[in-house]
Amino acid sequence: MGRPESVSPGGHLTLGTFPYQEADTVQSQVGEGAIGNFEAGVRGWVESVTGMGPTVQNNVLFSVLAVVVIYGLRRIILRVVDRRVEDPRVVYQWSKSSSYVALFVSVVFVGSIWLEGLRSLGTFLGLLSAGVAIALKDLIASMAGWVFILWRRPFQMGDRIQIGDRAGDVVDLRLFQFTLLEIGNWVDADQSTGRIIHLPNLLVFTEPLYNYTAQFEFIWNELQVLVTFESDWRKGKEVLQTLLDQHVGDSAKEAERAMRTATKKFLIHFQKLTPKVYTSVEDSGVLLTLRFICRARERRGRAEELWEAILDAFTDHHELDFAYPTTRMYHNMVEGKKGIRADLPPGWK
């Protein structure tokens, strides 16, 4: 079959369209109509089952797509970070930060989908915050505390802190709360109890916060050694000072280097970081106090090391005796200084 011909108004001969081209156009229109009918049927079925109209169905569909895309991008980013970064702290920070960003972006997108009248993002966030603040005052304060922690960094992951009467190592930080691995309590010398404490972020505004390790991770520690009045306390002080220099002298050198770095941010200044033995008098004897600096997490280990050395030293020095609460009779005329002793009867030494 040849092409159909026709004569144009100007007298020119033109070729008509192929019959199969008209058939393709008709088939395309039929296909589009079938898809439209299928979509309309699905929407009608969903409306009959759930009661949601076409507008609500569109909003639900776009909301789900927005959340899936946002969190899918987050998963991709975390996979890239996990492959290229070896430091677990950096990976953890990426995971936390990306979750907060994904949540915020999801709220903004879903809110803009459902509240089409609120074209301004500032208006949307203003109304949202005003409504939530009335009912969730503590949660809002905790969110503000989270922002404060990230901004001012009174502590960060891994720091050892005390807030109020609770102390521990920071092991997690979330939008509304942070988590401590507890130390102290019934356990001596700041060692772990094994318990996990969850605290709201708002406590950074209401409770005093002590940081053991931020910027300057050294703390002062003291051990008290009580010797009897009859002991050679000067010899004891000399022995204890030697033990301090041997066992904790290296910590003083490390602390000096750390303090030079810490002074760039905080006005931290100690005249002396070297260990020292102080002398005082108690009811039961002469008190020799060992004062030394050590890392916050080494306090008990250093104390144990020193005490074992002290016990060994006192065993070797018979002129040194530990004092403890005792009751004794003291006869000044017999035991006093030689200048005031009375003439002793025969048999007395």
Burial of 231 (0-12, 13-18, 19+ CB in 10 A): buried
Is the model more confident about 58 or about 121? 58
Residue 278 inside a domain? The answer is yes
Mind listing the pLDDT tens digit for each residue in 198-238?
A: 999 999 999 999 999 887 889 999 999 999 998 999 999 99
pLDDT at 1 (0 to 100): 46
Number of compact structural domains in the chain: 3
Is the same domain home to 266 and 305? Answer: yes
pLDDT at 20: 47
In a domain, 13, yes or no: no
One domain for residues 294 and 250: yes
| 164 and 95 inside one domain | no
What range does the domain containing 184 cover?
155-211
With cut-offs at 50, 70 and 90, classify the pLDDT of residue 129.
low
Let me know if residue 205 belongs to a domain. Answer: yes
Please check whether residues 304 and 268 belong to one and the same domain.
yes
- Asked if 190 and 232 sit in the same domain, the reply is no
> What integer pLDDT is reported at residue 26 of this predicted model?
45
Say if residue 291 is in the same domain as residue 255: yes
Write down the pTM of the prediction.
0.58
Ranking 5-19, 220-234, 326-340 by mean pLDDT, the lowest is: 5-19
- Residue 248 counted as domain residue: yes
Picking from 211, 204, 98, the residue whose alpha carbon sits closest to that of residue 143 is 204
Average pLDDT, the chain: 79
Q: Is residue 147 part of a domain?
A: no
Final residue of a structural domain among 211, 234, 250 = 211
Mean pLDDT is lowest, of 46-60, 175-189, 219-233, 287-301, for: 46-60
In the predicted structure, residue 50 carries a pLDDT above the cut 50: yes
96-103, long-range: CB within 8 Å, 24+ apart, which pairs? 96/173, 96/174, 98/74, 99/74, 100/175, 101/74, 102/70, 102/71, 102/73, 102/74, 103/175
Secondary structure class of 98 (helix, strand, coil): helix
Q: Span 182-198, mean pLDDT?
A: 89
Asked whether residue 289 falls in the same domain as residue 227, the answer is: yes
Instruction: Return the minimum-mean-pLDDT range out of 85-94, 114-123, 212-221, 234-243.
Output: 114-123
Which CATH number fits the domain that encloses residue 278?
Answer: 3.30.70.100
Residues 270 and 183 in one domain: no
Residue 145 domain flag: no
Do 173 and 242 belong together in one domain? no
Q: Are residues 185 and 224 in the same domain?
A: no
Q: Do the Cβ atoms of 319 and 231 come closer than 8 Å?
A: yes
Question: 182: domain CATH number?
Answer: 2.30.30.60
Look up residue 80 and give its two tokens: 């890239």
Q: Tell me the pLDDT tens digit for each residue of 256-300.
A: 888 877 777 777 777 778 899 999 999 889 999 999 999 999 999
* Confidence at residue 239, expressed as pLDDT on a 0 to 100 scale: 95
Domain assignment present for 150: no
67 within some domain: yes
